[in-house]
Structure 1
Amino acid sequence: MNKAFTRETDGDDDEGVEPALALPQGTRNYITPGGYKRIKDELDQLLRVERPHLVEVIHWAASNGDRSENGDYIYGKRRLREIDRRIRFLTKRLDLAEVVDPAARRENTDQVFFGATVTLCDEQGEEQTYRIVGVDETDFSRNKISWVSPLARALLKAREGDQVRFQSPAGWREVEVLVVEYVTIEP
């Protein structure tokens, strides 16, 4: 069969998404205002800049004649499918998002909830600070952990001074909650 009559499948919108970004079944997609803005900005960039520019390139490439050996056309169409898949994914995530501003909802509490910035002391006496954020905002290099991660789940509802035990990839660990803060931080 000629390649012109075959169709590459777009697959499911969540196909190719890192497992860490998958939400547990039946949970809400909590997100901070900064994370919501970052996703909204990416969606706007794709819809208003990248996709229209790519459509122009594909139109130009198609007008050059033979499409079967036209690299600009072939790779442009492939990139267009990737952009459309990302647009569907981001739109779905924004539709499911429940924006929670940690600073507005929790002020004078020493208990850990979504959006908390928590300073911990591990068994070796080392201090580490993590911010509990939404699944789409996770960035371990910046110490932002998902609220569905094992550490965050163990920390939720803990108070300053509590010892918390959780299962890490290296085995069971125990940490002490030193400080709990709620601040609004941009992405």
Structure 2
Amino acid sequence: MSRGFVKEDDQEEIPMVPPRADLPEGVTNYVTQVGMDELLAEKENLINERDGIDTTNEKEKRITTNYINAKLQLLTNRIATSKTINLSKQPVGEIRFGALVTLKTGNKTTVQRYQIVGVDEADISKGKIAFISPIARILTEKKVGDIAILKLAKEDRIFKIIEITY
């Protein structure tokens, strides 16, 4: 039967699912092994959540199931398109994907540490930056002692590479 002949009260809203972290078209979805493990754990949690839906309201159950299924579809696509990088095979002494980089900014005496990771595992509060971020791009292929310059609207931010580990 066409949805046009269904009572207005019976029509379900299409679930609005927030998009995953942005990954530009055509860019390979690199992840660390930790990032892949987190994605797989997230998928397992969503499946368990969907399978454990316990509600007596059938409409509410369908809406919740549809929402979780939509999230699972996005996540499954992200996992299927990911490429896990073995950090032990990255070039020692050069910043590449997965590097944990210690930086000194400008004339400051304190240092900052960032790890260059995949878009889904990036979290600045944990010191993890996405490989497609401007700072990761200027750091890539640099070595200890090199200077990287991030051009900002009002100034240039200068970083000196102090240490690189994987």
> How high is the TM-score relative to the length of structure 2?
0.86
Correspondences of 1:12-161 after superposition (within 5 Å): 16-17=18-19, 21-47=21-47, 49-54=48-53, 57-58=54-55, 61=56, 72-102=57-87, 104-106=88-90, 109-123=92-106, 124-161=108-145
Distance 2:89 2:137 in 1: 19
**Amino acid in the other structure paired with 1:8:** E
Correspondences of 1:155-174 after superposition (within 5 Å): 155-167=139-151, 171-174=155-158
Distance 2:27 2:63 in 1: 33
Q: 1:169 to 1:161 in 2, by over 3 A?
A: same
* Preserved contact between residue 32 and residue 86 of structure 2 (Cα < 8 Å): yes
Q: Which residue of 1 aligns with 2:164?
A: 180
**Amino acid in the other structure paired with 2:33:** P
1:76 Cα deviation after fit: 3.1
1:43-85 C-alpha deviation (Å, 9 max, x unpaired): 12222x211111xx24xx2xxxxxxxxxx44443332222111
Q: Unpaired segments of 5 or more residues in structure 1?
A: 62-71, 183-187
What is the DSSP-based 3-state SS (H/G/I as helix, E as strand, rest coil) of the residue aligned with 1:43?
helix
Q: Which residue of 2 aligns with 1:64?
A: none
What is the DSSP-based 3-state SS (H/G/I as helix, E as strand, rest coil) of the residue aligned with 1:136?
coil
Superposed CA RMSD in Å reads 2.0
Q: Unpaired segments of 5 or more residues in structure 2?
A: 1-6
* Preserved contact between residue 151 and residue 168 of structure 1 (Cα < 8 Å): no
1:169 Cα deviation after fit: 8.2
Distance 2:140 2:105 in 1: 17
1:122 Cα deviation after fit: 0.5
Distance 2:73 2:65 in 1: 12
Q: Where is the helix percentage greater, Structure 1 or Structure 2?
A: 1
